[in-house]
Chain A
Amino acid sequence: MSFSHNDSSFARFIGSSLETLSNEHSIAYHLLCTQLASCSILLVVDGETVALVFDGNGAHFLSELHNPTVRLRASRRTILDVIDARLTLYEAVIADSIVLEGNIDDLVAFHDGLLTYIQGAIRCPSFPALLDHFRYASTS
């Protein structure tokens, strides 16, 4: 999957961030792929859908996904609220600002993978610029 430079879609943010993670913190990237190898994930953010599967070779974007094992629905504003600690992840889920669907094992794997993604992201030199771009695209 490729993204144009000016693409402000959520798919572009996810694609760029995974590419950055792969380039700048390969340990976290490979751990993430291992943790999510059993999952097919559908992210729905402000109506935009992003479908992902993972295997030992990395993350793969799908054009469509009918029966994801994990489905997450949220808004960009909620994602930024969680990143900026105006909401905790727990509060966002309890308030249905982030809706997660899946069986418990898949949700646990997704949670582990999300933590690994964040642990890697905070160690990548290029992530602040990616986040700035996402923030700008989400608020402008």
Chain B
Amino acid sequence: MAGLPATNGQRLAIRKLTLDGESQTGDMSAYLIAQTDHFHAPPLLDPRANWHKEWHHFCIVSSDIQVILNFNLSGDIRPEAPPGAQLTRVILLVREGCWDGDVDSILPRDSVFRPGVIDLHFGHNSVRFENGIFKLSAALQDRPVGLVLQLRPIALPMLMRNNVPIGLGTINWLVVPRLVASGTVTVGRQVHILNEAPTYHDHNWGSWLWGQDFAWEWGFALPDHVDVPWSLVFDRTLNRRRSHILESKLALWKNSELRRVFTQSEIKVLPAGHLSVTRLPKFPRVMALVAPEFTTDIPRYLDISAAAGADSLLCHFEARDVAQIIIPNETDLGITVLNEVTGHLELEGNVKGELVHMQGGAIFEFLTQ
């Protein structure tokens, strides 16, 4: 068995509270997140313990700045690494017209997380969950980028992937599709004061090696206006050549409640054109030496349609900018590229007899070679 799947208790709690249509409250959201969103220590006796990967991912899509923050733990598979050794990184990217940011490596002795509790300290960077609120603090070592934010969930979490096979391993993916962020993001001398900015959060964990036979495409969209009830998360996993779809899911929330999930053949994805950019920032910067290309095969537009029974959705995503996070493969001397694509999404449809309409900021991620 590879990876640490969600426990039965976690799955049951989430299903009961997100699919049964029970009344939703902030207390429920806080309870579910506290129960499910903490980091998992890899089992030391697992021969694949060093394949373990896990991260907390946060995205903010305010009108004047977009932020991607990732607290990342990865088993160290290098030959001289002791069993269970882990590499810790903090990735912080911001886009305010152009991209800035970096990938900071944190010394293992400075990385602390408490099993069973959402309380991470990666160097001076931290994630805590207290009284139903995420409290984030991060500052890059060599770039003038930092943030201090409080994130309040306003939609219930969902386990989008539950021990889904990728490569020779598995991945779990818990999403909190909609939060609001308040606080400050500082880029150089510019201080952005956020007041309930649209925010997305997820948590991935599992066991695999970068470079194995898989790829993924996922994204989320949040409405520009807080009074619009809809939010959306899309995901599909593919083989590395992206010629074969392994798993697809499209989830729609209304306010806090999960409203509809489309899966597999109910979903059609139609890319069109290619995103063209004059600069293609790559992080960590040194990786531009091994991936110097300024071109990508990222679609300019992505139409995602879903239909089942009387329910249907049509999502039109327009990509506007991209930054790349470049990861050395663990299986060979190649690389894996995570294309972080900012853009705009329009959503229309009809679900459970109700018209759906939303437009807003979106970030999609395309994993390519």
Residues of A within 8 A of B (CB): 24, 27-28, 31, 82-85, 88-90, 115-116, 118-120, 122-123, 125, 128
Q: Mark B239-282, 1 if CB is under 8 A from A, else 0.
A: 00000000000000000000000000000000000000000011
How many Å lie between the Cα of A119 and that of B327 in the bound state?
11
16 more contacts with CB within 8 A, not counting A85-B285, A89-B292, A119-B290, are A28-B333, A31-B333, A83-B285, A83-B286, A84-B285, A85-B282, A85-B286, A88-B292, A90-B292, A115-B290, A118-B289, A118-B290, A120-B333, A122-B286, A122-B287, A122-B290
> Is B314 close to A, CB under 8 A?
no
Tell me the dominant secondary structure on chain B's binding face.
Answer: mixed
Distance (whole angstroms) from the CB of A132 to the closest CB of chain B: 11
Partner of A84, one of B78, B286, B292, B333: B286
Q: Are B78 and A125 in contact (CB under 8 A)?
A: yes
Q: Mark B93-127, 1 if CB is under 8 A from A, else 0.
A: 00000000000010000000000000000000000
How many Å lie between the Cα of A125 and that of B108 in the bound state?
12
Chain B residue at minimal CB-CB distance from A120: B333
Q: Are B290 and A88 in contact (CB under 8 A)?
A: no
How many Å lie between the Cα of A16 and that of B281 in the bound state?
30
Distance (whole angstroms) from the CB of B104 to the closest CB of chain A: 11
> Is B80 close to A, CB under 8 A?
yes
Distance (whole angstroms) from the CB of B57 to the closest CB of chain A: 23
Question: Nearest 3 CB-CB pairs, A to B?
Answer: A85-B285, A119-B333, A85-B288
Q: Are A119 and B285 in contact (CB under 8 A)?
A: no
Q: Are A128 and B292 in contact (CB under 8 A)?
A: no
Of B285, B287, B292, B333, most buried by chain A (CB within 10 Å of CB) is B333
Distance (whole angstroms) from the CB of A124 to the closest CB of chain B: 8
> Is B21 close to A, CB under 8 A?
no
Partner of B80, one of A85, A90, A125: A125
- Residues of B close to A122: CB separation below 8 A: 286-287, 290, 328
Q: A24-B80, A28-B333, A125-B80 are in contact. Are A119 and B286 (CB under 8 A)?
A: no
Partner of B78, one of A24, A82, A118: A24
Tell me the dominant secondary structure on chain A's binding face.
Answer: helix
List 19 interface pairs A-B (beta carbons < 8 Å), by A numbering.
A24-B80, A28-B333, A82-B289, A83-B285, A83-B289, A84-B285, A84-B286, A85-B282, A89-B289, A115-B290, A116-B333, A118-B286, A118-B289, A118-B290, A119-B333, A122-B286, A122-B287, A122-B290, A123-B328
Chain A residue at minimal CB-CB distance from B79: A24
- Residues of A close to B281: CB separation below 8 A: 85
Distance (whole angstroms) from the CB of A16 to the closest CB of chain B: 17
- Residues of A close to B285: CB separation below 8 A: 83-85
How many Å lie between the Cα of A81 and that of B285 in the bound state?
10
Q: Are B333 and A88 in contact (CB under 8 A)?
A: no
- Residues of B close to A123: CB separation below 8 A: 78, 328
Which residues of B45-81 have CB atoms within 8 Å of chain A's CB atoms? 78, 80
Distance (whole angstroms) from the CB of B316 to the closest CB of chain A: 33
Chain A residue at minimal CB-CB distance from B334: A119
Chain A residue at minimal CB-CB distance from B281: A85
- Residues of A close to B286: CB separation below 8 A: 83-85, 118, 122
How many Å lie between the Cα of A105 and that of B235 in the bound state?
45
- Residues of B close to A83: CB separation below 8 A: 285-286, 289
How many Å lie between the Cα of A125 and that of B81 in the bound state?
9
Q: Are A88 and B288 in contact (CB under 8 A)?
A: yes
Q: A24-B80, A82-B289, A83-B289 are in contact. Are A119 and B328 (CB under 8 A)?
A: yes
Chain B residue at minimal CB-CB distance from A91: B292
Chain A residue at minimal CB-CB distance from B77: A123
Distance (whole angstroms) from the CB of A7 to the closest CB of chain B: 24
Chain A residue at minimal CB-CB distance from B284: A122
How many Å lie between the Cα of A125 and that of B285 in the bound state?
17
How many Å lie between the Cα of A115 and that of B288 in the bound state?
11
Q: Are B287 and A128 in contact (CB under 8 A)?
A: no
Of B105, B286, B290, most buried by chain A (CB within 10 Å of CB) is B286
- Residues of A close to B288: CB separation below 8 A: 85, 88
How many Å lie between the Cα of A122 and that of B284 in the bound state?
10
Chain A residue at minimal CB-CB distance from B330: A123
How many Å lie between the Cα of A119 and that of B285 in the bound state?
14
How many Å lie between the Cα of A27 and that of B331 in the bound state?
12
- Residues of B close to A85: CB separation below 8 A: 281-282, 285-286, 288
Distance (whole angstroms) from the CB of B257 to the closest CB of chain A: 44
How many Å lie between the Cα of A28 and that of B286 in the bound state?
17
How many Å lie between the Cα of A27 and that of B328 in the bound state?
15
Distance (whole angstroms) from the CB of B279 to the closest CB of chain A: 10
How many Å lie between the Cα of A123 and that of B327 in the bound state?
10
How many Å lie between the Cα of A115 and that of B78 in the bound state?
20
